[in-house]
């Protein structure tokens, strides 16, 4: 079983819809992250959380929101999806301290028509 | 964010050695990661450097020069399965604790 599980793995939806991507982990890590990956742009950080009561904006948080429901769960929402949010989304976790590597889920491929 | 530069694509021959370079801005630097990502898959951790010098792990080695803002990943005895993208990522502290990724270098290993 995967340590970092993302659902759904693929999603096609229409402009204006509300979308939620979910991430759960069994690694016991406190820190969780959401990234998006676009061809030619690399991985960019959307939001991150260091514990249940901590939420921080990343480089490209506009149009997104997150919820850290428990240590093991971190969800990403697109309140009103637009086509330029079509991308591959990754959830990641890490243990403190900061030099510990991040462990990525298998990704969610999101297409917004 | 920090500017991280690495070549977009490289091609190398099976059995050969390839060096993938990465340059970054030195201000706020706290560490440099390398990840491997096969097409359509999740990135996986390869190495972390925080001090100057070479870190060797089997066929893969990573080098860091903090004063020059420069790192490289060295892959020896290339295998076809090494065809992947290699992502350089800088960890900058200064309260942000974020990893900033380069755009990745797509390595193609040919017979």
Put simply, whether A104 touches B (Cβ < 8 Å) is yes
User: Exposure of B6 by Cβ count < 10 A (0-12 exposed, 13-18 middle, 19+ buried)?
Assistant: buried
Q: Please state, in angstroms and as integers, the Cα–Cα distance from residue A66 to each residue in A29, A61, A75, A87, B9, following that order.
A: 17, 9, 6, 17, 34
Mutate to test the interface with A, among B99, B101, B102 (most CBs of A within 10 A): B99
* CA closest to B106 among chain A residues: A40
Q: How confident is the model at residue B95 (pLDDT cuts 50, 70, 90)?
A: low
Across A33-45, average pLDDT: 92
Across B32-58, average pLDDT: 95
Query: How far is B103 from A70, CA to CA, in rounded Å?
Result: 32
* Cβ-nearest to A43 among B40, B48, B101: B101
Put simply, whether A40 touches B (Cβ < 8 Å) is yes
Whether residue B82 is predicted with pLDDT greater than 80 in this model: the reply is yes
Lowest mean pLDDT of A53-57, B25-29, B77-81, name the range.
B25-29
* CA closest to A57 among chain B residues: B96
């Amino acid at each position: 079983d995967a340590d970092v599980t993302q659902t759904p793995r693929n999603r096609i939806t229409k402009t204006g819809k509300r979308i939620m991507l979910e991430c759960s982990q069994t690694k016991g890590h406190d820190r969780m992250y959401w990234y998006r990956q676009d061809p030619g742009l690399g991985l960019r950080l959307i939001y991150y959380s260091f514990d249940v009561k901590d939420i921080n904006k990343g480089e490209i948080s506009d149009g997104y929101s997150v919820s850290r429901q428990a240590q093991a769960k971190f969800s990403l929402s697109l309140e009103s999806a637009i086509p330029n949010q079509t991308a591959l989304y990754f959830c990641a976790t890490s243990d403190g301290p900061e030099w510990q590597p991040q462990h990525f889920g298998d990704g969610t491929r999101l297409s917004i028509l | 964010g920090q500017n991280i530069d690495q070549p977009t694509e490289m091609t190398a021959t099976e059995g050969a050695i390839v060096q993938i370079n990465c340059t970054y801005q030195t201000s706020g630097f706290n560490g440099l990661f390398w990840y491997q990502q096969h097409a359509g898959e999740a990135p996986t951790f390869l190495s972390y450097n925080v001090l100057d010098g070479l870190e060797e792990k089997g066929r893969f080695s990573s080098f860091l020069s903090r004063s020059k803002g420069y790192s490289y990943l060295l892959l020896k005895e290339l295998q076809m399965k090494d065809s992947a993208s290699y992502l350089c990522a800088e960890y900058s502290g200064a309260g942000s604790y974020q990893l900033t990724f380069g755009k990745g270098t797509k390595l193609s290993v040919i017979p």
